[in-house]
Amino acid sequence: MYFLSKLQRSIEFWYFQKMFHRNFNFYTTDSPEELKEIYKIRYQVYCLEYNYLNKEDYPNELEKDEYDSKSIHFILRHKSDNEIAATVRFILNSEIGLPIEKHFNIGLQVPVSNRDRLAEISRLIVANKYRRKFLLLAQIKGLYAYSKHNDITQVYSVLDDKLFPVLKKIGFPFKKIGPQSVYQGLTSPYIMDIAEMEENLKIHNPALYKYIVNGILIYNGLERNYSIH
């Protein structure tokens, strides 16, 4: 049964990867037009759908903040509809710090020498029309590829009590580093070591490990602009 389970998972990821590349493009962007699309979908999800943020604070219906200029923005776009199916940003270390450290009582001190190898996963969104488990995994694959390409070794993430058990079950070893707070709902701060994630997936979910690590990042000739394959 274990062998069949491993085989089934491998087939599922093979099928998803084939379907994904046929139907979606996944890339980073700093295009003002595409960033506006991202801010629009973030407003729709964070302000209107989940009420994480007060819509009155965004009269132009674009949800953006001071961290956007310090971030790498990822788009997962449906080829035929030309719609953004999912988006996520990677907030990089900068002079303004990282939001998780401002909104939570973090029980962790990251050495100054390691801060440029630390990034925060933020605004991870799959549009309602496209909500499938595998699109979340595609986003994680892209974040992993960017991390390996840019020597990021640890990632912060804010997770709620629904998403954390799912990620833990499939093999992502996030560690809680502080108490809950009311921030984008009732959430807690977590950190994950990339090398530990690789080893954990290799042992406990080899099909997912193969899917995640076999991605490559192709530089498109523009600053901070890549495609994930």
Q: Is residue 73 part of a domain?
A: yes
Q: What is the pLDDT of residues 92-146, one digit of tens each?
A: 999 999 999 999 999 877 777 788 999 999 999 999 888 876 788 889 989 999 9
Confidence band for 224, pLDDT divided at 50, 70 and 90: low
> What CATH code is carried by the domain that includes residue 68?
3.40.630.30
Q: Is residue 49 part of a domain?
A: yes
Q: Taking a C-beta distance cutoff of 8 angstroms, is the pair 195, 155 a contact?
A: no
Dihedral sign, Cα of residue 49, residue 120, residue 191, residue 211? positive
Confidence band for 4, pLDDT divided at 50, 70 and 90: very low
Kindly state the helix (H) or strand (E) to which residue 181 belongs, with its residue range: strand 181-182
> Which has more confidence, 57 or 113?
57
pTM recorded for the entire structure = 0.88
In Å, what is the CA distance from 98 to each residue of 43, 69, 108, 121, 157?
A: 21, 12, 13, 10, 11
Q: Is residue 229 part of a domain?
A: no
Residue 225 predicted with pLDDT over 90: no
Q: Is residue 116 part of a domain?
A: yes
For the segment 182-210, the average pLDDT, to the nearest whole number, is 92
pLDDT for res 128: 87
Instruction: Spell out where 3-153 has E strands.
Output: 24-29, 71-78, 84-92, 118-126
Q: Is residue 226 part of a domain?
A: no
Structurally, the chain folds into a number of domains equal to 1
Q: Which residues pair with 156 in a beta bridge?
A: 120, 191
pLDDT for res 14: 61
Q: Is residue 228 part of a domain?
A: no
Percentage of residues in the chain having pLDDT higher than 70:
88
Confidence band for 199, pLDDT divided at 50, 70 and 90: very high
pLDDT for res 23: 87
Buried b (16+ CB within 10 A) or exposed e, 34-70: bbebbbbbbbbbbbeeeeebeeeebeeebbbeebbeb
Give the range of the structural domain holding residue 36, as residue numbers without chain letter.
Answer: 2-216
Beta carbons within 10 angstroms of residue 27's beta carbon: 19
Q: Which two tokens stand for residue 201?
A: 């997936």
Q: Is residue 111 part of a domain?
A: yes
Q: Is residue 11 part of a domain?
A: yes
